[in-house]
Amino acid sequence: MAASPLPLPLPLPLPLPDRIRGRFPIFDSKVYVNSCSQGALSDAVRAAYEGYLTDWDERGAPWGYWMEKQEEARASFAGLVGATTDEVAVTTSVSAGVSALASGLDLRGRKVVVSNYEFPTIGQIWHAQEARGAEIVHVAAAEPGRPIPLERFAEAIDERTALVSITAVCYRNGALTDIAGVVELAREHGALVLLDAYQAAGTIPLDVRALDVDFLATGVLKYLLGSAGLGFLYVRRGLVESILPTDTGWFADRDIFEMDIFDYSPAPTAARFQSGTPPIPSIYAGVAGMELMQEIGIAETRTHVLGLTDRLIAGVDELDGRVVTPREHASRGALVCIASTDDHALVAGLAADGIEASCRDGNLRISPHCYNSAGDIDAVLASLRRQRALLVRGDA
Ligand SMILES: Cc1ncc(COP(=O)(O)O)c(C=O)c1O
């Protein structure tokens, strides 16, 4: 009897980025390292947009189906951050979610402590609450580009503090906030914590229970591989019904199809932080993007990106440039910022070399993601070498 053939070993999955890079056509024509602005377009998200148009053709005005899609988005995001669906509002932006939240908080005579690493929209929304009696207190960094020290938060947070507003990763220097440290300080004084996770979601695993934050706002445009127009606000279950947003709309109602103009009866869930018609096209794209990111793996992406950014930082050191972002893995996200004497000229110079990056605040921003390769980083470094005159020297 012939011996049965030995089973062939299953092929090992390719490491990142090789197993997925082909799904992002932008890499056929350029080196894309600008995910802090917008993630690259995938085949899945393109197909989702096409699906939206096909459904429009074939189904007309499928409101019931759209509601299913909205619930799909809610469930997908809840799964991504370890929340339950009744704790998630489907919004159109971080700004929309945070504005709805702010509108429902009684801030008269209370303080909101805001880190100086926030995206402008966050600072602006909290300052708008001054008209409603809030006092806004800022927490500054001790050194540019370093995480804001906890002592600075400790000095600002007190018994009058209603809420502490922090960003996970700063959009202009890449510093990762000591979220656990801030949450602990806030808890000591009975203050709530809002986390803006836009520069972290999709590139760092996030779990709202482990983070122990009360609110988390983000969108899908960047590392979640979706497009503009879809955001989420997580609200801790026990807090939802104690907050009555006045920035509202029919999609925040207990029964949106009741069409009742005679009262305000918000949903008993976090849907009460929603407003008008959901961003349906962006929901199609966002669900596809989030699913793709889950399939790729956020934890593996984090390890992969730290490897790429280590390589970038070492290369910039070799060029005697100045990296503004903290070097420790625990203190940085995917974004690495490099000081420039003329950041706009540097971005234009990179573009001339086929590399798309961005800048803020005098710094070049390089933000690799799951699809970037060591070759992309080397291309950036080669371009920086050619444009060395635009780098601030490391010891300057
Ligand atoms: C950290 C952070 N928060 C908020 C935003 C903007 O949010 P939205 O436009 O969805 O209100 C951005 C966009 O770049 C961001 O990087």
Q: Tell me, yes or no, whether 2 lies in a domain.
A: no
Residues 6+ apart with CB under 8 A from 4: none
Instruction: Find the 37 Cα to ligand 1 centroid distance in Å.
Output: 9
The per-residue pLDDT for 212 is 98
Tokens of 60: 């007309």
What would the DSSP string read from start to end of 127-195? Answer: HHGGGGT-EEEEE--SSTTSPPPHHHHHHH--TTEEEEEEESB-TTT-BBP-HHHHHHHHHHTT-EEEE
Q: Is residue 3 over pLDDT 70? A: no
Assign 364 to helix, strand or coil.
strand
Q: Tell me, yes or no, whether 11 lies in a domain.
A: no
**CATH value at residue 125:** 3.40.640.10
Whole-angstrom Cα distance, residue 325 to residue 368? 14
> Are 79 and 205 within one domain?
yes
Instruction: Find the 198 Cα to ligand 1 centroid distance in Å.
Output: 6
DSSP-assigned beta bridge partners for residue 31: 355
Q: Tell me, yes or no, whether 202 lies in a domain.
A: yes
Confidence of residue 67 (pLDDT cuts 50, 70, 90): very high
**CATH value at residue 310:** 3.90.1150.10
Tokens of 350: 């990179």
Q: What is the mean pLDDT of residues 24-37?
A: 98
Tens-place pLDDT, residues 152-196: 999 999 999 999 999 999 999 999 999 999 999 999 999 999 999
Instruction: Find the 170 Cα to ligand 1 centroid distance in Å.
Output: 10
> Are 231 and 345 within one domain?
no
Whole-angstrom Cα distance, residue 132 to residue 42? 43
> Are 77 and 188 within one domain?
yes
Instruction: Find the 47 Cα to ligand 1 centroid distance in Å.
Output: 25
Ligand 1 site-directed mutation target among 37, 91, 93, 94, most atoms within 8 Å of CB: 94
> Are 237 and 328 within one domain?
no
Confidence of residue 97 (pLDDT cuts 50, 70, 90): very high
Instruction: Find the 277 Cα to ligand 1 centroid distance in Å.
Output: 21
Q: Tell me, yes or no, whether 3 lies in a domain.
A: no
Q: Is residue 276 over pLDDT 60? A: yes
The per-residue pLDDT for 2 is 53
Residue nearest to atom 14 of ligand 1 (CA): 37
Residue nearest to atom 16 of ligand 1 (CA): 171
The per-residue pLDDT for 4 is 65
> Are 195 and 229 within one domain?
yes
> Are 52 and 151 within one domain?
yes
Q: Using a pLDDT cut of 90, give the percent of the chain over it.
A: 93
Residue nearest to atom 9 of ligand 1 (CA): 93
Q: How far is it between the farthest Cα atoms of the chain?
A: 89
Instruction: Find the 26 Cα to ligand 1 centroid distance in Å.
Output: 23
Instruction: Write out the residue range of the structural domain in which residue 304 sits.
Output: 21-41+297-390
Q: Tell me, yes or no, whether 94 lies in a domain.
A: yes
Ligand 1 site-directed mutation target among 171, 222, 230, 365, most atoms within 8 Å of CB: 171
Instruction: Find the 120 Cα to ligand 1 centroid distance in Å.
Output: 8
Q: Tell me, yes or no, whether 259 lies in a domain.
A: yes
Instruction: Find the 121 Cα to ligand 1 centroid distance in Å.
Output: 7
Among candidate residues 295, 114, 129, the one with its CA nearest the CA of residue 194: 114
The amino acid at residue 45 is V
Q: How many folded domains does the chain comprise?
A: 2
> Are 30 and 134 within one domain?
no
> Which ligand 1 atom sits nearest the alpha carbon of residue 96?
11
Tens-place pLDDT, residues 114-145: 999 999 999 999 999 999 999 999 999 999 88
Residue with tokens 């910022």: 337
The amino acid at residue 267 is A
Q: What is the mean pLDDT of residues 285-303?
A: 98
Residue nearest to atom 6 of ligand 1 (CA): 94
Give φ, ψ of 80 to 5 degrees: -65, -35
Question: What is the Cα 365 distance to its own chain's centre?
Answer: 15
Residue nearest to atom 4 of ligand 1 (CA): 119
Q: What's the angle, vertex CA 198, arms to CA 95 and CA 184, rounded to 5? A: 95
Tokens of 340: 């420039």
Q: Using a pLDDT cut of 70, give the percent of the chain over it.
A: 98
What would the DSSP string read from start to end of 68-97? Answer: HHHHHHHHHHHHHHT--GGGEEEESSHHHH
Pick from 241, 259, 293: which residue ends a domain? Answer: 293
Q: Tell me, yes or no, whether 10 lies in a domain.
A: no
> Are 321 and 247 within one domain?
no
If you ran DSSP here, which 8-state letter would residue 218 be given? E
The per-residue pLDDT for 248 is 97
Tens-place pLDDT, residues 353-374: 999 999 999 999 999 999 999 9
Tens-place pLDDT, residues 146-161: 999 999 999 999 999 9
Q: Is residue 297 over pLDDT 90? A: yes
> Are 103 and 171 within one domain?
yes
Instruction: Find the 388 Cα to ligand 1 centroid distance in Å.
Output: 31
pTM for this predicted structure = 0.96
> Are 37 and 53 within one domain?
no
Tokens of 24: 């992002």
Neighbours of 15 (CB within 10 A): 10
Give me the helices (H) in the chain, please.
43-59, 63-81, 94-104, 120-128, 150-156, 179-188, 208-211, 237-240, 280-296, 298-318, 343-352, 374-386
Q: Tell me, yes or no, whether 111 lies in a domain.
A: yes
Whole-angstrom Cα distance, residue 245 to residue 129? 13
> Are 68 and 99 within one domain?
yes
Pick from 247, 271, 293: which residue ends a domain? Answer: 293
> Are 120 and 240 within one domain?
yes
Query: Who lines ligand 1 at CB under 6 A?
Result: 93-95, 119, 121, 167, 171, 196, 198-199, 219, 231
Pick from 242, 273, 293: which residue ends a domain? Answer: 293
